Amino acid sequence: MAIKTFEELKEAVVKLEPIRVAVAAAGDEKVVGGVKLAQELGIIKEPVLTGDAEKIKEIVDAQEAEVTADNIRDAVDDSQAARLAVKAVNDGEVQALAKGRLETLHYLRAILDKETGIRAAKVLNNLTLFEMDSYHKLVGVSDNAIMPNPDLEDKKAIIENTKPLWTALGIEQPKAAVLAAVEIVNDKMQATVDGCCLTRMVDRGQIKDFIVDGPLSYDIAMSLECAKGKNLADSKVAGDPDLLVLPNLESANMLGKSYKLHGKAESGGLVFGAEVPVMLNSRSDSAERRLNAILMARAIAEKTSLV
């Protein structure tokens, strides 16, 4: 059976050996809180924290987190904090990277730097995984942080880049819904054209190991009853997607935030396409949501199914 909740993911991950993680701009109580939770569960060890060293040490001491002085790396600003965290990856000190309390722009610049960055794929994309009472399993939303207006090839990469996550969760053929405002192809609505093309790419072997359907409106994608009402009950994705591919960053970002605010969703975010698992949380995310991202990163680092 596939992993369907963050609690099930935690139960699987705690059985693995701990890994080391570097956290960029770690001078925040929620950030250190997430690190401490992961340490207490035995998921990570010897974390490297970069940023304002004095502030980090103060928070670490207050929370009684296990971080040695030599693993607190002082930085004059967020840009340097991000670069120091990436350097820890390049130096082989850590096996994953986490975002603390800094702007995503500074974080991504360090990751994408042509000389010292850790980009592995042509396209990097963000995916946030959500757990809600109103849905029967975990569902991913992409891209809600990196690509403002993904084109057809970008959306193909969004789908393919996320395969390691689904493998870790025990999903052999993940289902991707390519969303648009309507489920009918309209050449004046690019999202519908992209959805149609991506669906055909699966048929022609251009996308492997995924079930893709699009264009699908949100209600059809997430509800089989809605699909039946629009004569799309034969869709292999409707009512059961693992991944929602949104038309652009704005729509993905707003959907994700609505899940958190109104759906009371638990969540965790990752960047795909880098040399190591890269965590990407909102600056306002709780320690628990940061722990979820660490769980996801540790699962992917295993490079096999946890089921």
Cα 190-120-102 angle, rounded to 5 deg:
80
CATH code, domain with 87: 3.40.50.10950
In a domain, 167, yes or no: yes
* Predicted confidence band of residue 1 (pLDDT cuts 50, 70, 90): confident
Same domain, 20 and 107: yes
Give the mean pLDDT of the chain. Answer: 96
Same domain, 80 and 51: yes
Same domain, 55 and 77: yes
In a domain, 159, yes or no: yes
Q: What is the mean pLDDT of residues 124-145?
A: 97
In a domain, 194, yes or no: yes
What number of other Cβ atoms are within 10 A of residue 163's Cβ?
15
Q: What is the mean pLDDT of residues 111-124?
A: 96
In a domain, 306, yes or no: no
**CA distance linking residue 179 with residue 235, whole number of Å:** 14
**CA distance linking residue 198 with residue 207, whole number of Å:** 8
**CA distance linking residue 307 with residue 272, whole number of Å:** 21
**Model pLDDT for residues 235-253, shown as the tens digit of each residue:** 999 999 999 999 999 999 9
CATH code, domain with 258: 3.40.718.10
Residues counted in the chain: 307
**Model pLDDT for residues 3-60, shown as the tens digit of each residue:** 999 999 999 999 999 999 999 999 999 999 999 999 999 999 999 999 999 999 999 9
Residue 221, strand partner residues: none
In a domain, 307, yes or no: no
Peptide bond into 77 cis (omega under 30): no
What is the pLDDT at residue 284?
78
Same domain, 146 and 258: yes
**CA distance linking residue 219 with residue 202, whole number of Å:** 23
Same domain, 139 and 251: yes
- Read off the pTM: 0.95
**CA distance linking residue 296 with residue 53, whole number of Å:** 27
What number of other Cβ atoms are within 10 A of residue 35's Cβ?
29
* Residue where the block lists tokens 């990856």: 89
In a domain, 155, yes or no: yes
Same domain, 209 and 243: yes
Structural Rg of the chain based on CA atoms: 19
Count of domains for the chain: 2
**DSSP secondary structure string, 206-272?**
SS-S-EEEEEE-HHHHH-HHHHHHTT-TT-SSTT--SEEE-SSHHHHHHHHHHHHHHS--EEEEEEE
Same domain, 231 and 291: no
Same domain, 254 and 296: no
Record the tokens describing residue 54, joined without a space. 């004095």
**CA distance linking residue 19 with residue 24, whole number of Å:** 16
Same domain, 256 and 136: yes
* Full domain range(s) for residue 137: 127-262
Same domain, 146 and 232: yes
The packing angle between helices 29-40 and 53-63, to 10°, is 50
- Amino acid identity of residue 290, one-letter, is R
Residue 282 has pLDDT above 90, yes or no: no
* Predicted confidence band of residue 285 (pLDDT cuts 50, 70, 90): confident
Same domain, 216 and 253: yes
- Tell me the helix, strand and coil percentages in the chain, rounded to 5: 40, 15, 40
Q: What is the DSSP letter of 136?
A: S
Same domain, 150 and 255: yes
